[in-house]
């Protein structure tokens, strides 16, 4: 198991859980990022203030690592071409909102609520993603 980083993985995961918990118990909202994004750009959407604040926090959190502790920053490696990135982005955005949730909304927030929709969604997107990686890395 190359590149396995259990300690930082676990710590980071706990922080993600804490963040989602704060949003739920603090303002009563689900930390589903695709949903937050949809709420911001939806015509006639309301209550944008908490959504914008949450979304702005995401890159700020990364900066909080980059500035004081750049050695903790993961080494970013993007191998996809621009057309592939565009197609990937379209699918991720469209698919997530058709399903009304993604890894954060259905995965992190939905499963602890034992929502069967979220459990089903998670099974399907993990399965689909794993199949995609298999085809790209081992078949093509």
In the region spanning residues 75 to 134, those forming contacts with other proteins, defined by CB under 8 A, are: 75-80, 82, 84-109, 111-113, 115-118, 120-122, 124-134
Least distance from other proteins to the Cβ atom of residue 104, Å: 5
Q: Does 138 bind other proteins (CB under 8 A)?
A: yes
How far apart, in whole angstroms, are the C-alpha atoms of residue 102 and residue 91? 12
Least distance from other proteins to the Cβ atom of residue 97, Å: 3
How far apart, in whole angstroms, are the C-alpha atoms of residue 101 and residue 121? 8
Residue 18 corresponds to which tokens in the numbers above?
């804490």
Query: Which residues 29-58 are close enough to bind other proteins by CB under 8 A?
Result: 29-35, 37-39, 41-43, 49-58
How far apart, in whole angstroms, are the C-alpha atoms of residue 123 and residue 118? 9
Where residue 43 falls (left for φ over 0; alpha for ψ -120 to 50; beta otherwise) is beta
Query: Which residues 10-29 are close enough to bind other proteins by CB under 8 A?
Result: 10-29
Kind and range of the H or E run holding 88: helix 82-98
Q: Does 68 bind other proteins (CB under 8 A)?
A: no
Q: Does 60 bind other proteins (CB under 8 A)?
A: yes
């Amino acid at each position: 198991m190359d590149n396995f980083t259990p300690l930082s993985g676990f710590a980071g995961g706990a922080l993600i859980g804490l963040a989602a918990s704060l949003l739920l118990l603090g303002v009563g909202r689900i930390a589903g990022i695709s949903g937050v994004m949809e709420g911001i750009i939806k015509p006639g959407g309301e209550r944008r203030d908490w959504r914008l604040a949450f979304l702005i926090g995401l890159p700020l959190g990364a900066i909080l690592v980059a500035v004081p502790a750049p050695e903790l920053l993961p080494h970013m490696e993007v191998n996809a071409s621009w057309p592939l990135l565009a197609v990937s982005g379209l699918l991720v955005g469209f698919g997530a909102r058709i399903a009304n949730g993604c890894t954060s909304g259905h995965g992190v927030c939905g499963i602890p609520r034992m929502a069967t929709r979220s459990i089903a969604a998670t099974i399907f997107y993990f399965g689909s993603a794993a199949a995609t990686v298999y085809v790209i890395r081992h078949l093509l």
